[in-house]
Amino acid sequence: GGVGNDPESENILSEFKTSSVLSDSAREKNIFIHGKLADREAVVILEKTPIREDSLDELFMGSKLSLEMRNDIYSTYRLQAPPQLNEIKATVVCPATEKHVKKYQRQESFLVEETGEDYQSITLPYIQKQSFSVQWVHNILEKKAEAEKIVYEDPEPEVGFVLLPDFKWDQKQVDDLYLIAIARQRDIRSLRDLTAEHLPLLQNIFQRGKEAILQRYKLPASKLRVYLHYQPSYYHLHVHFTKLGYEAPGCGVERAHLLADVIQNLQSDSRFYKSRTLYFPLRADDGLLGRFREAGRL
Amino acid sequence: GGVGNDPESENILSEFKTSSVLSDSAREKNIFIHGKLADREAVVILEKTPIREDSLDELFMGSKLSLEMRNDIYSTYRLQAPPQLNEIKATVVCPATEKHVKKYQRQESFLVEETGEDYQSITLPYIQKQSFSVQWVHNILEKKAEAEKIVYEDPEPEVGFVLLPDFKWDQKQVDDLYLIAIARQRDIRSLRDLTAEHLPLLQNIFQRGKEAILQRYKLPASKLRVYLHYQPSYYHLHVHFTKLGYEAPGCGVERAHLLADVIQNLQSDSRFYKSRTLYFPLRADDGLLGRFREAGRL
């Protein structure tokens, strides 16, 4: 904006030129738009705000109502509310790089079928070559970072773990409770590395994790969904604890594996996760998907 | 409202008196409210509308913007839009019965642990006593209802099935594709009844279901999530086909079982689902939950 203008009252978006909609969600009432703001690349994100209980009276009194449909005891209306009671949150990224645009672009996913042999010949070499850094995980285990966030810790080197809130959870309410238990053992990459010898570790995380959450958040085990991801987003064994009823991202059957099932599977077959065919989604831009494609496995 | 008033312009909600919020969703921007409308019980549902791509230019031009935060290339604003570009959908149920109020009341769920013995002693007797009607399923199989909706059918009595859109899917876009395959065999209640003898049926549904969806909707198997529910909502074997990436209700790991996994499990152990401990959520008002409670299993 020009010098001397009040940024509070100036509508910089009035000069925004839309190039394309990157993604949108009718369910979540948001939209991600790529365009130009005064000749610079920009991404604008609009999201409607939640309806606040404390503004209901004012909303009902101050709105304009138009009947759409009436049928027996049911009727629907379009309600036009005073603008200050019905704001939209706008986020502007400017100048935006190609990376930003790609990040917000809706990404298609593909379901991959990975046999035990595929893991050895495709996935494991890919993971090893990428050597994804888990330094930030080691920092947590060594209390070099996020030490103040730790909810519970078991220092035992073989079966021990650290429990702390996932960064997606703001901890303001338990409705969307999301904690992560990180194993102290450093050589377990994922589900594929687990055998019956890890049962004491898994049972310890399951049992003590549930106890710690009951104590700190008053949520009993019957309100928790406890699971691992495959593929995980980082290759150091960790377990997700989320509140049952909260549709946490990644809790779908195509990616999540209940810890209780993992334990049962290893109890009946120590090599279960060596030989089992596993299914998981990969985004179109994931390097691993390219490897499966090259191998003719897609 | 009074006689002679124009129902289009009268704001009947201005006299609505809120008693309590039954439920709300910050994610979906909706709220369900119980209260009184002119001394009659009523439920009012408000939901913000999706942001429409074709109104973006007008929205950017006509809104008032207030800066909230600026950090490097990122800034956030509160945007006040012209009311006609930012409507709220209002649904009124009046007079509302206690049943309506209960229906919209947020229901807590509890995770239940069901051993093979629990199934025999608690769940099976409950299912049998309730004798839930599946007449509507038989009507579909006999083409007495919904015949025009059938996408594919295999008439073979042992391995045959009917594939049709789930009633939740409006079929206007494949983004939220949701189909159901209903087995012709009538004596399979759920996952718990499956043994290795049902593998030809399951493999037939899996294979031909995927082929039919590819042909009709041009969606390959790598874009599908194919699964069973346990507990199912009706006790006649059926399989869910939903689009990968669409967060269909009930696709969470706590209730969904990938058909590919069910097949693998039965291949390695014909009695897998007789002996396996299964986990599933039950709503607080579900009669089966009461049985587990009475049996001291919760």
For the domain that residue B259 is a member of, what is the CATH number?
3.30.428.10
Same domain, A74 and A167: no
Same domain, B267 and B241: yes
Nearest CA in chain A to B20: A53
Residues, chain B, total? 298
List, for residues A205-218, the tens digit of each pLDDT value.
Answer: 999 999 999 999 99
Chain A residue numbers with beta carbons less than 8 Å from the beta carbon of B225 are 111, 252-254
- Residue B9: per-residue pLDDT: 58
Examine the fold and report which residue of B104, B133, B165 is the final residue of a domain before the chain moves on. Answer: B104
The phi, psi pair for A18, rounded to 5°, reads -70, 130
The answer to whether position B1 is within a domain reads no
Examine the fold and report which residue of B104, B130, B163 is the final residue of a domain before the chain moves on. Answer: B104
Nearest CA in chain B to A219: B110
**Who has greater pLDDT, A76 or B122?**
B122
Contact A73 B94 (CB under 8 A): yes
The answer to whether position A84 is within a domain reads yes
Judge whether residue B70 has pLDDT over 90. Answer: no
Judge whether residue B284 has pLDDT over 70. Answer: yes
List, for residues B254-265, the tens digit of each pLDDT value.
Answer: 999 999 999 999
Q: What is the mean pLDDT of residues A235-262?
A: 96
Question: Which residues sit opposite B76 in a β-bridge?
Answer: A91, B69
What one-character DSSP code corresponds to residue B233?
A: S
Do residues A165 and A179 make contact, with C-beta atoms less than 8 angstroms apart? yes
List, for residues B107-125, the tens digit of each pLDDT value.
Answer: 889 999 999 999 999 999 9
Same domain, B90 and B115: no
Q: What is the mean pLDDT of residues B52-70?
A: 93
Same domain, A120 and A41: no
Q: Tell me which amino acid residue A162 is.
A: V
* Beta pairing, strands B161-165 & A238-243: unpaired
Chain B residue numbers with beta carbons less than 8 Å from the beta carbon of A276 are 264
| 3 state SS of A160 | coil
What are the structure tokens assigned to B240, written together?
């869910």
Dist. CA B166–CA B151, nearest whole Å = 11
Selecting from A16, A82, A222 the residue whose C-beta is nearest the C-beta of B60 gives A16
Q: Using alpha carbons only, what angle is made at residue A284 by residues A278 and A289, rounded to the nearest 5 degrees?
A: 45
- Using pLDDT thresholds of 50, 70 and 90, give the confidence band for residue A3: very low
Same domain, A125 and A86: no
Judge whether residue A34 has pLDDT over 90. Answer: yes
The phi, psi pair for B248, rounded to 5°, reads -65, 140
Least reliable range by pLDDT among A76-85, A225-234, B129-138, B156-165 = B129-138
Dist. CA B59–CA B223, nearest whole Å = 35
Greatest mean pLDDT range, A137-146, B127-136, B225-234: B225-234
The total number of structural domains in chain A stands at 2
Chain A residue numbers with beta carbons less than 8 Å from the beta carbon of B65 are 10-13, 90
Same domain, A144 and A288: yes
The answer to whether position A210 is within a domain reads yes
Is the backbone of residue A232 left (phi > 0), alpha (psi -120 to 50) or beta? Answer: beta
The answer to whether position A1 is within a domain reads no
- Using pLDDT thresholds of 50, 70 and 90, give the confidence band for residue B28: confident
Judge whether residue A5 has pLDDT over 70. Answer: no
The answer to whether position A54 is within a domain reads yes
Closest C-alpha among B36, B35, B41 to residue B22? B35
- Using pLDDT thresholds of 50, 70 and 90, give the confidence band for residue A9: low
Q: Using alpha carbons only, what angle is made at residue B89 by residues B84 and B93, rounded to the nearest 5 degrees?
A: 145
Judge whether residue A102 has pLDDT over 90. Answer: no
Dist. CA B178–CA B170, nearest whole Å = 9
Do residues A62 and A54 make contact, with C-beta atoms less than 8 angstroms apart? no
The answer to whether position B278 is within a domain reads yes
Judge whether residue A1 has pLDDT over 50. Answer: no
H or E segment at B11? none
How many other CB atoms are there within 10 angstroms of residue B151's CB atom? 19
List, for residues B35-57, the tens digit of each pLDDT value.
Answer: 999 999 999 999 999 899 999 99
Selecting from A60, A253, A261 the residue whose C-beta is nearest the C-beta of B256 gives A253
Q: What is the mean pLDDT of residues B282-290?
A: 93
Same domain, A270 and A171: yes
Which of A21, A51, A274 to probe the B interface (max B CBs under 10 A)?
Answer: A51
Percent of chain B with pLDDT over 90: 79
Do residues B166 and B179 make contact, with C-beta atoms less than 8 angstroms apart? yes
Q: Which domain does A273 fall in, by range?
A: 109-294
Judge whether residue A281 has pLDDT over 90. Answer: yes
- Residue B1: per-residue pLDDT: 35
CA distance A30 to chain B (A): 6
What are the structure tokens assigned to B152, written together?
């594919």
Chain A residue numbers with beta carbons less than 8 Å from the beta carbon of B105 are none
List, for residues B174-226, the tens digit of each pLDDT value.
Answer: 888 999 999 999 999 999 999 999 999 999 999 999 999 999 999 999 999 99
- Residue B285: per-residue pLDDT: 87
Dist. CA B215–CA B209, nearest whole Å = 10
- Residue B225: per-residue pLDDT: 98
Same domain, A124 and A182: yes
Contact A50 B76 (CB under 8 A): no
Selecting from A78, A252, A264 the residue whose C-beta is nearest the C-beta of B247 gives A252
Nearest CA in chain B to A281: B244
Same domain, B40 and B137: no
- Residue B259: per-residue pLDDT: 98
The phi, psi pair for B287, rounded to 5°, reads -60, -35
Examine the fold and report which residue of B67, B84, B104 is the final residue of a domain before the chain moves on. Answer: B104
Mean of pLDDT over chain B:
93
Q: Which class for A117: exposed (0-12), middle (13-18), buried (19 or more C-beta within 10 A)?
A: exposed
The answer to whether position B154 is within a domain reads yes
- Residue B3: per-residue pLDDT: 41
Judge whether residue B5 has pLDDT over 70. Answer: no
Chain A residue numbers with beta carbons less than 8 Å from the beta carbon of B111 are 221-225, 244
Selecting from B65, B89, B258 the residue whose C-beta is nearest the C-beta of A11 gives B65
Told to judge if B238 belongs to the known catalytic residues of this protein, a careful annotator would answer yes
Nearest CA in chain B to A27: B28
Chain A residue numbers with beta carbons less than 8 Å from the beta carbon of B12 are 65
C-alpha distances (whole Å) from B207 to each of A278, B72, B175, B200 are: 18, 52, 22, 10
Judge whether residue A4 has pLDDT over 70. Answer: no
Q: What is the mean pLDDT of residues A246-253?
A: 92
CATH number, domain at B74?
Answer: 3.30.200.40
What are the structure tokens assigned to A45, written together?
């994100």
Same domain, B144 and B71: no
How many other CB atoms are there within 10 angstroms of residue B160's CB atom? 18
Residue found by looking up tokens 């019965």 in the block: B97
What are the structure tokens assigned to A297, written together?
């496995």
Q: Tell me which amino acid residue A278 is.
A: L
Question: Which residues sit opposite A108 in a β-bridge?
Answer: none
- Residue A84: per-residue pLDDT: 95
Q: From the candidates B34, B198, B229, B238, which is the catalytic residue?
A: B238
Percent of chain B with pLDDT over 70: 97
What are the structure tokens assigned to A34, written together?
């790529």
Same domain, B75 and B120: no
How many other CB atoms are there within 10 angstroms of residue A166's CB atom? 16
Same domain, B267 and B147: yes
- Residue A124: per-residue pLDDT: 97
Judge whether residue B8 has pLDDT over 60. Answer: no
Nearest CA in chain A to B89: A78
Closest C-alpha among A170, A51, A58 to residue B25? A51
- Residue A39: per-residue pLDDT: 93
H or E segment at B128? helix B124-130
Contact A92 B109 (CB under 8 A): no
Judge whether residue B60 has pLDDT over 80. Answer: yes
Dist. CA B31–CA A67, nearest whole Å = 19
Judge whether residue A177 has pLDDT over 80. Answer: yes
Q: What is the mean pLDDT of residues A150-162?
A: 97
C-alpha distances (whole Å) from B150 to each of A248, B165, B223 are: 34, 8, 21
The answer to whether position A187 is within a domain reads yes
Q: What is the mean pLDDT of residues A147-172?
A: 92
CA distance B78 to chain A (A): 5
